[in-house]
Amino acid sequence: DLQHGLLGAVTSAMSPGAAFTTFSYIHAIPLSSARRFRALLAERFEEVVPGRTVWRNAPPAFVFHARRPRP
């Protein structure tokens, strides 16, 4: 699907120790597509760290830091 293709292209372009930062709008966090994307991040990266919520964004956004893409 689209998420797999996009994240595959991103990880294939990254160096082994690189980091990828992305965000999700806070209202979308419980949606199945957002849950699938978080699972895909965990599949494609050795470490996924939730970041802070950006309350000044409209709508508020939740940040994810994914580190060290898996080969």
CATH code for position 12: 3.30.110
Number of domains in the chain: 1
pLDDT in tens, 15-67: 999 999 999 998 998 899 999 999 999 999 999 999 999 999 999 999 999 99
Tell me how crowded residue 41 is: count the other CB atoms within 10 A of its CB.
Answer: 19
Predicted confidence band of residue 7 (pLDDT cuts 50, 70, 90): very high
- Which residue range is the domain that position 53 belongs to? 2-69
CB-count burial class (<10 Å; 0-12, 13-18, 19+) for 14: middle
Full-model pTM: 0.84
